[in-house]
A and B are shown apart, each in its own frame.
Chain A
Amino acid sequence: MSIDEHDDEILLKKWRAQLSKGILEFLVLILLQKERYGWDILQLVRSLLPLTEPPLTDGTIYNVLTRLKRKSLVTYQNRTVGGRVRTYYVLSEKGQELLHVMKKDWEQLFASISEAGELFER
Chain B
Amino acid sequence: MKEKTITANQIKKKYLRKLSIELIKRGASNDKIKTVLDEVSFSVDDYISEFKPKDLEEFVSKFGSPEDFCDNNSIIRSKVASKGQLFLITLMVSSILIVPVISIVSLFTISLYSNASDFTTLLQIWPYLGISGVNTGYGIIGTLFGLNVFVWMLYQFLKDKFSPYDIRELVKGAILGLYWYLVVFCLYLILDSYISHYLVIQDMWNQNMKLLILEGLFRWIALESVLLITAIFYTYKYRKQYHKIDIAKPKIYLIDKIGLLVVIFILTGFISAGPGMGILIIAIGIGVLFLTKFTGNTWLLGLLAIFLQLGALVTKMIASFQYPQYFRTWIFFGIQTTETNDYLIFVAILAFCLAIVWSVICIKQLKKNKRKLLPRFRIPNGKTSLISVFLVSLTLIAVLGTQPQKVRYASNTDLYQESTYFEIDQSYLFQRKGKLSISVYTYIEETSHTHYSNGTIIESTHHLEGNWYLTWTPTGEFRTFRIEGNFDNYSTPSYSIDDHNVSIKYISLNVNGTGVLKYHITLYSGSLTKIHPYMQLQFSAIVPWLPNWYDIIIFVCVIFFIFFKWDEKTLQLASNLKKGDD
Contact = CB atoms under 8 A, between A and B. Distances in A.
A54 B50 contact: no
Contacts of B40: 59, 63, 66
Interface stretch (A25-33, A80-88, A91-99, A103-111): A80-88
Contacts of B52: 84
B69 A59 contact: yes
Given A21-B74, A54-B71, A59 B42 contact: no
Interface residues of B, number: 21
A65 B43 CA distance: 8
Interface stretch (B60-68, B114-122, B179-187, B486-494): B60-68
A86 to B, nearest CB: 6
B47 A62 contact: yes
Interface string B68-80: 1101111000000
Greatest chain A CB density within 10 A among B47, B63, B69 is at B47
A55 B69 CA distance: 10
Greatest chain A CB density within 10 A among B40, B43, B52, B73 is at B43
B46 interface: yes
Contacts, number: 72
B246 interface: no
Given A57-B69, A85-B49, A87-B46, A63 B74 contact: no
B65 to A, nearest CB: 8
Greatest chain B CB density within 10 A among A55, A62, A69, A85 is at A62
A37 to B, nearest CB: 8
B57 interface: no
Interface string A34-71: 00011100000000000000111111101101110110
Nearest to A17: B74
Contacts of A62: 43-44, 46-47, 63
Contacts of B43: 59, 62-63, 65-66
A60 B42 contact: no
A70 B69 contact: no
A54 B72 contact: yes
A18 interface: yes
A67 B39 contact: yes
A32 to B, nearest CB: 14
A38 B72 contact: no
Contacts of A55: 68
B39 A59 contact: no
Interface residues of A, number: 24
B62 A58 contact: yes
A38 B46 CA distance: 9
Contacts of B49: 85, 87
Contacts of B44: 59, 62
A84 B49 CA distance: 8
Contacts of A37: 50
A58 B47 contact: yes
B50 A87 contact: yes
Contact of A54 (B46, B63, B68): B68
Contacts of B71: 17, 54
A60 B74 contact: no
Given A67-B39, A69-B42, A57 B64 contact: yes
Contacts of B64: 57-60
A69 B42 CA distance: 10
A17 B70 CA distance: 12
Return the 10 tightest CB-CB contacts between A and B, nearest first: A57-B64, A60-B72, A62-B43, A59-B64, A59-B63, A66-B43, A66-B42, A63-B43, A54-B71, A57-B68
Given A21-B74, A84-B52, A85-B50, 18 more contacts: A18-B74, A38-B47, A38-B50, A39-B50, A58-B47, A59-B64, A60-B69, A60-B73, A62-B44, A63-B73, A66-B40, A66-B42, A66-B43, A66-B46, A70-B42, A84-B50, A86-B50, A87-B50
Interface of A: 17-18, 21, 37-39, 54-60, 62-63, 65-67, 69-70, 84-87
20 contacts: A17-B71, A17-B72, A21-B72, A21-B74, A38-B47, A55-B68, A56-B72, A58-B64, A59-B43, A59-B47, A60-B64, A63-B73, A65-B43, A66-B40, A66-B42, A66-B43, A66-B46, A70-B39, A84-B52, A86-B50
